[in-house]
Amino acid sequence: MNTAMIDSPVGVMAVLVAVVTFWFWLERKTSWRIFEFLPPLIFIYASPVLLSNTGVIPYQSVAYDFLRQYGLPIFIVLMLIKVDVLSAVRIMGKGVFVMMIGSVGVVLGGVLAYWLGQQLGFGGLFPLPQDSWRAFGTLAGSWIGGTGNMTAAHAALEGTAEHLTMAAAADQMVYLVWLPILLGSKAFAERFNRWARVSPDRIAQMEQAASEFDTSETAPSMTSLLYLALLALGFTWIALELSAVLPPVVVAGATVITASTWLILLVTTLALAASVTPARKLPAAQPIAMAIIYVYVARVGATMDLSGVDWADMGAFVLMAYVWIAVHGAFILAGAWLFRVDVHTLAIASAANIGGAASAPIVAAHHRQSLVPASILMALIGYALGNYLAILTGRLGQLIGG
């Protein structure tokens, strides 16, 4: 029997939207410094946890099922049709490849950290549950793309609410250390650029290319919104139909591609195919997508039962996340030296991975204001890679963990 105060699907959805609206309103209204360290995402996730655990809203609802089945793939379509790889390459040049090397570092670092956590756990030092590869894959989504990729990977890997809690906690705790490092790297620009053998005219070339990039977007019309709706609903429908009939993929006795995984992979591929068409120019796709994904994050929080949380697992996961970010840092440094890119590009590339579209412009503005549009483009490339590589990270962990 459901004893929640609000159990109507419409009422539950209204509560989730109200939570998201409140925290963004509070951030904008107050400009409190706490939001510089703990972004609204954390509170948007935590508030429904409290509401469901105190009986205000239920742990299970038709509204939650609807968001998982339809809201998430619709978000992926709207997010990825704005990807513009060519413009990012024109401005950042080899910096795009540095970001991709950083993404490889996230994949390999995640697998290494999971394996290390398992080995230490066998000795009883830092126990990690056997299925924590789902949490590693979930966090990889955030560290390659952003919040949307994190939630998409979480769904594709069929993670629990606890897995997302582990990923979200580690994401913020690590980024509290990593962001100041990226910002502070500007002070070492000259020495770093000498070490990386950067061409003297590289920065001037980037700024010239950035000045020629048009970031303007027209106001959405009724017709353009209908086009967006058709793309989002159509691709979601196709992906759902195909994922229901495609067989699961089994490797070494482990099912690595399930129906949920097929759904995320298919809708990602369809959306990226549309991004090379005029669909990329449709306005308002990104703000609509972000509104959907924050409501989805609130939905995951609402399904979290605090009585089942193992705080020792949480601590062990966060510890391994610090090992993980060190591997990413080593890869991105190696990429900068290999491609001879400046420290500004390195910082933006790492921020585009680890922080996504929310943090990359902050780092870019601190280093070179003219590179802010390019930082957003690089973050969108992370969105494009994130779903594929995050699923890969989780499944590799699954295979090595037996």
Contact yes or no for 113/323 (Cβ under 8 A): yes
- Using CA atoms, how far apart are residues 145 and 351, in angstroms rounded to an integer? 10
Q: What is the pLDDT along the chain (402 residues), one digit of tens a residue?
A: 457 899 999 999 999 999 999 999 999 999 888 887 778 888 998 899 999 999 999 999 999 999 999 999 999 999 899 888 888 888 888 999 999 999 999 999 999 999 998 887 655 566 688 889 999 999 999 999 988 899 999 999 999 888 998 998 899 889 888 988 998 999 999 999 999 999 888 888 888 888 777 767 788 999 999 999 999 999 999 999 999 999 999 887 888 899 999 999 999 999 999 999 999 999 999 899 989 989 998 998 898 877 766 667 788 899 999 999 999 999 999 999 999 999 999 999 999 999 887 788 889 888 988 888 888 889 889 999 999 999 999 999 999 876
- Using CA atoms, how far apart are residues 13 and 135, in angstroms rounded to an integer? 26
Neighbours of 65 (CB within 10 A): 12
pLDDT in tens, 251-310: 878 888 999 999 999 999 999 999 999 999 999 998 999 899 899 989 988 988 777 666
Contact yes or no for 304/165 (Cβ under 8 A): yes
DSSP 340: T
- Using CA atoms, how far apart are residues 293 and 28, in angstroms rounded to an integer? 19
Give how far the C-alpha of residue 190 lies from the chain's centroid of Cα atoms, to the nearest Å: 32
Residue 250's SS3 state is: strand
Contact yes or no for 167/154 (Cβ under 8 A): yes
Contact yes or no for 278/306 (Cβ under 8 A): no
- Using CA atoms, how far apart are residues 284 and 288, in angstroms rounded to an integer? 6
Residue 257's SS3 state is: strand
- Using CA atoms, how far apart are residues 146 and 357, in angstroms rounded to an integer? 7
- Using CA atoms, how far apart are residues 30 and 159, in angstroms rounded to an integer? 35
Contact yes or no for 338/179 (Cβ under 8 A): no
- Using CA atoms, how far apart are residues 348 and 354, in angstroms rounded to an integer? 10
Total-model pTM? 0.86
At CA 156, angle to CA 327 and CA 78, rounded to 5? 95
Strand ranges for 228-270 from DSSP E: 249-251, 254-257
Compute φ and ψ for 226, nearest 5 degrees: -65, -40
